[in-house]
Homo-oligomer: A and B are copies of this chain.
Amino acid sequence: MLNMKPEMLDADAFHPYGQVIDKEHARSFPINSGMCTRYHDLAEIDVTGPGARPIVSIVTGEPYELPARIPMVERHPFGSQAFIPLSSRPFLVVVCDDDDGTPANLKAFLTAPGQGVNFKRNVWHGILTPLEDTSDFVVVDWAGEGTNLEEHFFDQPYTVG
C-alpha cells in the first residue's frame, strides 16, 4: 500500500487535469435585474466521437472512510466529466498523469464545501469518492457510440487520507 495525504483542491494545482467548479475566482455578473448573480462558464464540456452529445445525470454515491483505498483509476476517451455536489460534504478527487498509456504520478485532493470538478477528456481519475455520508452529484458527461471507459488497476493499491 502506498499512502497519500490529500491536499486541498486548488484551481491552479488542478488545472492540468481540468477545472474546479466553484463560485470563487469565477467570472460573475448580475442578471435578472440584479436578483441573480451568474458565475459563468465554469467547466469545459468536451464530447466527441460518433453520436456524441452532452448529458446531465444525477449520481448518488455511498461514502468512503478515510484512509480510502484507491485500487484503480479510469479515463474516458470520448468526453470530459463534471461532478458538482448537491451537498456541502467533501469528496476525494484523485488524478494521474499519463505516461504512454499508463497512469503515473497520482495526486489526491480534498474538496472544500461547494467545490466540484470537471475532468478533461482522457484524464486518468479515481471513481467518485464521497465522504461522510451518502451524497448526490450532478454529473455532466458524454453519451454516444463506442466504449468510453478505460480502467487501470494498480499493481500496488494506494490509500488516501
Contacts and interface: CB of A to CB of B under 8 A. Distances in A.
B45 A53 contact: yes
Interface string A21-60: 1110010000110011111111101000000011111111
> Interface residues of A: mostly helix, strand, loop or mixed?
strand
Contact of A61 (B35, B54, B59): B35
Contact of A86 (B32, B41, B86, B128): B86
Contacts of A39: 57-60
Contacts of A11: none
Contacts of A22: 58
A84 B139 CA distance: 11
Contact of A56 (B55, B59, B62, B118): B118
Contact of A36 (B32, B38, B54, B59): B59
Contact of A41 (B26, B56, B84): B56
Interface of A: 21-23, 26, 31-32, 35-43, 45, 53-62, 64, 82, 84, 86, 114, 118, 127-128, 136, 138-140, 143
Nearest to A36: B61
Given A32-B128, A86-B86, A127-B32, A37 B54 contact: no
